[in-house]
Amino acid sequence: MKTKTGSKTGDAVVKVPRFRLFLMVAVVGAAYFLSNFHRLSFGVMGGLVVKDFSLSAGQLGTLGFALFCAYAIMQLFCGVAADKLQTRTLIVLSCLLTGCGTLWFSQAWTFASLVGSRSLTGAAIACVYVPALASFRRWFGDESFGTVTGVLVAIGQLGSLSASTPLKLAIDAMSWREVFALLGCVSLLLAGAAFFCVLKNPERPLRQKEAFAGDLWVPLLNPAFLVVTVWFFITGGTRVAFQGLWGADFFVRALGKGADQSSLFLMWQSVGCILGALFLGYVSDVLGSMRTLTLSGTTLTVTWVALGLSGPNTPGWVVGALNLLLGAVGTGGLAVAFGSIRLFSEGANTGFLSGVNNCSTFLGSALAAQGTGYFVQTLETWPIAEKYSVLWLFFAALCFISTLSVAWANRSHLKAGL
């Protein structure tokens, strides 16, 4: 039977059947699938909850804020915990609390219980991705870390995709309460599967350089790490602002496309997220994380420029292809960026640094949503096509500057011999 033996990340040699490693990835991936599903589920079912509870728009916004705020706050705590505790413990705890929060939500009858259950769910689902990255690096080593990270991100994007049409079909067949009660039970069962399938972190001695990296200020103040963090902030924020807020309006009002065609464009972006995570994760293992990050950022810049120059005469297949590319280099680039953390942590603080960058992504998304709202409101008298053209070209400029910084950081990093 083939086994996975040791890795370049450490000096200890461990022998584990490969099917055990793949089973661990599958179970952790299922937990991350549910994490992404919960984050986007209100896009479909929000209106039903508003109707059943007679909520105002502000109260609906509070429910979204409760989940995302708890999720973002927990990133840093989970990052530290991932470096100190067993990944299996964190994944099991995450699945248990997610199940409890989901069951509570399915049985909620007051607004306070809705807020409480969504907050618990948001905090619980935050404890999956960062611990998973820390564990996968220990088990798969640097040589395969990009590929495995891409697989995990792709599975998560399937969860995002399932929170759209599949969720609507499930709610039509049952009710939103029954669907979430079922998901709560699945989460509890997944906790049991995680207990048996997620391997304990392998023991290995710290090398001299790795021990030095134990000082958090060393990687946090590394210019290359700061540049990657800013890259997370910009690319994550701009893509979410497009996909979650302005994309559909841009397709319909600026490009003159139909509502059905508009939803199809957004679906292609989700497909691109899945394919890009798999492809760029593999490419990063061949070219290196920082080079792949530069390639991804450059392609993303060109994509924003193409969207900014698009108009009513742009063929539908071109718009669809641009959305596929936007999702691929956006989400795929984020998967690669997480892989680049290995250049700064040397294995010591992988979890904490991953938490910092994940928090940066969500902070960028929140500020981009708020900032673009003010931007669109300020240019209210402008023709809709020109307004969006300026916005997408501004996104292109931000991505270009951040990508140039990544290229500079990579060159400096190589010169330093790190």
Would you give the end-to-end CA distance of the chain in angstroms? 37
pLDDT in tens, 250-259: 888 889 988 7
Assign domain 209-415 to a CATH class: mainly alpha
Among 86-95, 209-218, 231-240, top mean pLDDT goes to 86-95
Confidence of residue 413 (pLDDT cuts 50, 70, 90): low
Rounded mean pLDDT of 315-326? 92
Global pTM value: 0.72
Would the pLDDT of 6 be above 70?
no
C-alpha 260/C-alpha 265 separation (Å) is: 9
What share of the chain in percent tops pLDDT 70? 83
Q: Which CATH architecture has domain 14-200?
A: Up-down Bundle (1.20)
- How many CB atoms neighbour CB 317 within 10 A? 8
Contact of 11 with 146, CB cutoff 8 Å:
no
Question: What is the residue type of 258?
Answer: G
Nearest partner of 273 among 65, 26, 40, 17, judged by Cα: 40
Per residue, what are the HEC states of 149-216?
Answer: HHHHHHHHHHHHHHCCHHHHHHHHHCCHHHHHHHHHHHHHHHHHHHHHHCCCCCCCCCCHHHHHCCCC
pLDDT at position 315 is 92
In the chain, where does the domain assigned CATH 1.20.1250.20 lie?
14-200, 209-415
What tens digit of pLDDT does each residue of 286-315 get? 877 778 888 888 999 999 999 999 999 999
Question: Residues 158, 32: contact at Cβ < 8 Å?
Answer: no
